[in-house]
Amino acid sequence: MWSSEKIGIIVVIILTAFFVVSFFLGRSLNYRLQRNIYRFVAREIKPYFKKITYATYGSNAFSLIFPVEEKKEAPFKTLEATALLMDRENIAHYLYSKIKGDCDKLIIKATLNLKRKHKFFLELVSRNSVFFKKAEKAYANLKDVKLKEFTGDFLVKTSNTQLAKDILDLLLRIAFFKDIKPNILRLSISPKKPNLILVYNIEKPVHGIFRFLWEYGKMLNNVLQTKSR
């Protein structure tokens, strides 16, 4: 008959082995996902950038900086993307994050190629994202925007309701926006650099994300320079 002390030791050994194995499996999986995301992004940005600067932050994140050439037609002055993966090395934390609705994300930050400053704010936050509850509190002082194409899926807050409607209408003019829309967790426009932030669910990436950003960036520059106050 085993004593409770021996049973306790066996349980500890089993749990230790489980967490050690899950750590290495989780890390291996994240590195494989990093390679897949890198290949996806590299294909997506190929028409717009010739070089990529890569920086890794372990198994859970890496960044890509795209040197924007000095061209008048380029919609951005700077552009970078960070892949932020879930903590698969820690199975308990991973499961907790999954329950909260978290996912692997691609965070794209851009500084628009504007000739003058603006004071416009827009926050488009998916109601299914982990950002939603925080956004409700953080942007409570901004105005609500009600548009049938967005309000069912997103919280929309702004400093200028009419300008926000014009800028959201630009999204609907981009043919493949409907394919990208389900993957958008947050879209932010602000006067501070980076002016444009897109948080994108990268677990099932959809072709066209950087083409979408390139077209939308050009439209934003035009509208913000002519209508923003």
Cα 225 to Cα 51: distance, rounded to the nearest angstrom: 29
Strands of the sheet containing 53-56, edge to edge, are 53-56, 61-66, 76-84, 105-112, 196-201, 184-189, 122-126, 154-158, 143-144
Question: Where do we find the tokens 């030791």?
Answer: 9
Which run of H or E residues covers position 8? helix 4-45
Tens digit of each residue's pLDDT (9 = 90 or more) over 59-88: 999 999 988 766 557 899 889 999 999 999
* Omega before residue 191 within 30° of 0, cis: no
Q: Are strands 76-84 and 105-112 parallel, antiparallel or unpaired?
A: antiparallel
Cα 154 to Cα 67: distance, rounded to the nearest angstrom: 32
Tens digit of each residue's pLDDT (9 = 90 or more) over 8-63: 777 778 777 777 878 889 899 999 999 999 999 988 988 888 788 889 899 999 99
Question: Can you say how many angstroms the Cα of residue 20 is from the centroid of all Cα atoms in its chain?
Answer: 30
Tens digit of each residue's pLDDT (9 = 90 or more) over 144-176: 999 989 988 999 999 999 999 999 999 999 988
Question: Where do we find the tokens 């499961």?
Answer: 95
Query: Residue 188 in contact with residue 220, Cβ under 8 Å?
Result: no
